[in-house]
Amino acid sequence: MTQPSLTLGYVPGATPAKWARTWAERHPDVPLLLRAIAAADAGAEVRAGTIDVALLRLPTDTSALAVIPLYEETTVAVVPTDHLLTAADEITSADLAGESILLPLDDVVAWADAPGTPIDHRPETTQDAIELVAAGLGALIVPQSLARLHHRKDLTYRPITDAPTCAVALAFPQGQPSELVEEFTGIVRGRKPTSSRGAAQSAAKRTAREKTLAKQAARAAAGKVARKPDPARRRKP
């Protein structure tokens, strides 16, 4: 019989580590397989069944998918550390008005009227665009997590206070989700082990009971458990 498992796809910059740790604690016998996926392919991979659930950025094609919005990311401008924009802790779109802007083909910021002047050459990936920023060819507008992911000592970033935020969501096929998908969405939403459904709830109760029995056994072995009268015998007929 094939061992059950759950495959979670995640786009660059997304951080599923804390949920993976919680999953491992609650379901040590059910592997959570983590798979890095391109932002543009996230929805298609779920629809194709190559992954069970995806941690992705919106907007993207989520047709035939159930979507749970999770959080909003700050949008930032990545520039060289000696750039004039680094004089302030945060900037506005007006500060980028005269800047050359790199727009990679895998751009994920939905900003129709973004400031600055787009460079004709579009690098293939955000990683390639980062290299061009370091070479002094322009600034790059990305979600903050991508700026952190591609951190370099010669680059920094500044939040853009009036830029649209970048939404991160969980997506899985529409319809009745599997027990494993339902359990994972519960973990992401902060559901406690005692409120988990199905097998997870039973496992949590058994674990708690086993811990209680172990403590009682240890006390008994050390001679620290005193005999107590049975409360049921005190009841009057």
What residues does each domain of the chain span?
6-72+167-211, 75-164
State pLDDT tens for residues 116-137: 999 999 999 999 999 999 999 9
Q: Report whether the peptide linkage leading into residue 193 is cis, meaning its omega lies within 30 degrees of zero.
A: no
pLDDT of 195 reads 56
Is the pLDDT score of 225 beyond 60? no
Please list, in sequence order, all residues whose beta carbon lies within 8 angstroms of the beta carbon of residue 6, skipping any fewer than 6 positions away.
23, 30, 31, 32, 33, 52, 53, 180, 181, 184
Of the two residues 231 and 127, the one the predictor is more confident about is 127
Asked whether this chain's domains 6-72+167-211 and 75-164 adopt the same fold, the reply is yes
Q: Do 72 and 167 contact (CB within 8 A), yes or no?
A: yes
State pLDDT tens for residues 27-43: 999 999 999 999 999 99
Across the chain, mean pLDDT equals 87
Question: What mean pLDDT is predicted for residues 150-162?
Answer: 97
DSSP-derived secondary structure for the chain:
-PPP-EEEEE-TT---HHHHHHHHHH-TTS-EEEEE--GGGHHHHHHHTSSSEEEEEESS--TTEEEEEEEEEPEEEEEETTSGGGGSSSB-GGGGTT-EEE--TT-----TT-SSEE-SS--SSHHHHHHHHHTTS-EEEEEHHHHHHT--TTEEEEEBTTSPPEEEEEEEESSS--HHHHHHHHHHTT--GGG--HHHHHHHHHHHHHHHHHHHHHHHHTT-------HHHHS--
pLDDT of 194 reads 65
Residue 67 Cα to chain centre, angstroms: 14
CATH number of 75-164: 3.40.190.10
**Architecture of the CATH domain 6-72+167-211:** 3-Layer(aba) Sandwich (3.40)
Of the two residues 1 and 79, the one the predictor is more confident about is 79
Is the pLDDT score of 193 beyond 50? yes
Binning pLDDT at 50, 70 and 90, where does residue 209 land? low
pLDDT of 228 reads 47
Is the pLDDT score of 3 beyond 90? no
Does the model's pTM come out above 0.85?
no
171-196 CB burial, b ≥16 within 10 A, e <16: bbbeeebeebbbbbbbbbeebebeeb
State pLDDT tens for residues 44-68: 999 999 999 999 999 999 999 999 9
